[in-house]
Amino acid sequence: MSARHIELPTRARAGDVVCAAESVVLTRGGRALLDDVSLEVRAGEVLALLGPNGAGKSTLLSVLSGDVSPDGGVAKFGGKPIADWSLGDLSRRRSVLLQDNQLLFPFTVHQVVEMGRAPWRRTPFEDEDNEAISEAIASADIGHLGNRRVPSLSGGERARTAFARVMAGRTGVLMLDEPTAALDLGHQEAVLGLARERAAAGDAVLVVLHDLNLAAAYSDRIALLRDGKIAACDVPDRVLTAEIVSDVYRTPVEIIPHPVTGRGIVMPKRGA
């Protein structure tokens, strides 16, 4: 296929809806994993998906990325049903980091990151490959691992390699499923700081997190799921209240303001 036959993406304006779920339903084994879920993801924001285990966070991200088709409702990207997009067109518009990154083939770290540039082959953006790969490797702090084979890496090093592959794609939408799960404190902060930078530059970032305090610190909006439904969706201070969090997670919590930022810190209530 020649470059002139590839429809290149145009950049969304801040606040534009880039993808959306509209009354989405997904059922497996007689159980509703998603039940009438509607959600918009906008350019220029970090939107965090939170909720207890099994709430539907990863499932919703998979539907919005086009990896899973809903049983009811519709998932849209760029204003049209995701099913109407080719896989190639989607891959140039959104980058997806899955929760289960089994990078077990004996590729080097550099080769894995290079895979993030595959959608841009035979397009004018192919000229950015070297710059994008180098920038992604540096941003994920894996420059010293470039020639290492992926199976020899620690879990955290593999996670950072997978994150660098996604960053190298330079798409306008990042969909990250638990990108901080295997990372130490410093790299958690670095990864979400980069997500924050991408949103500030106009990209849309959808991220599944378990850590409520990381979500409070780095997101513009939070969608809190419970039992396949959205229990709350708003700015962090309006979602992460003691009443809402205690109810959704079925455990009592208290909210303490951060001494510098003022953002709420969620703490389990414990006895003296």
The helix/strand/coil state of 143 is helix
- d(CA 26, CA 152) in angstroms, rounded, equals 37
Work out the average pLDDT over 149-160: 91
- pLDDT tops 60 at residue 118: yes
Query: What does the angle CA 14 – CA 132 – CA 100 come to, to the nearest 5 degrees?
Result: 80
The torsion angles phi and psi of 66, rounded to 5 degrees, stand at 90, 5
Burial classification of residue 215, based on how many CB atoms lie within 10 Å of its CB (0-12 exposed, 13-18 middle, 19 or more buried): buried
Tokens standing for residue 14:
């801040």
pLDDT tens-digit series, residues 215-255: 999 999 999 999 999 999 999 999 999 999 999 999 999 99
Helix (H) or strand (E) holding 195: helix 185-200
pTM recorded for the entire structure: 0.94
Helix (H) or strand (E) holding 144: none
Helix (H) or strand (E) holding 132: helix 129-139
Asked whether 26 and 63 are in contact (CB, 8 A), the reply is yes
Question: Of the ranges 48-57, 149-158, 168-177, 233-242, which one carries the lowest mean pLDDT score?
Answer: 149-158
Identify which has the larger pLDDT, 2 or 121.
Answer: 121
Topology, domain 15-93+171-268: Rossmann fold (3.40.50)
Amino acid at 115: M
String of DSSP letters for 88-106: HHHHTTEEEE-S-----SS
Query: What does the angle CA 185 – CA 160 – CA 180 come to, to the nearest 5 degrees?
Result: 45
pLDDT tens-digit series, residues 162-213: 999 999 999 999 999 999 998 999 999 999 999 999 999 999 999 999 999 9
pLDDT tens-digit series, residues 2-26: 444 688 899 899 999 999 999 999 9
**Residue 101: per-residue pLDDT:** 65
Work out the average pLDDT over 45-61: 97
Query: What does the angle CA 131 – CA 198 – CA 178 come to, to the nearest 5 degrees?
Result: 105
The helix/strand/coil state of 146 is coil
Q: Are strands 80-81 and 72-77 parallel, antiparallel or unpaired?
A: antiparallel
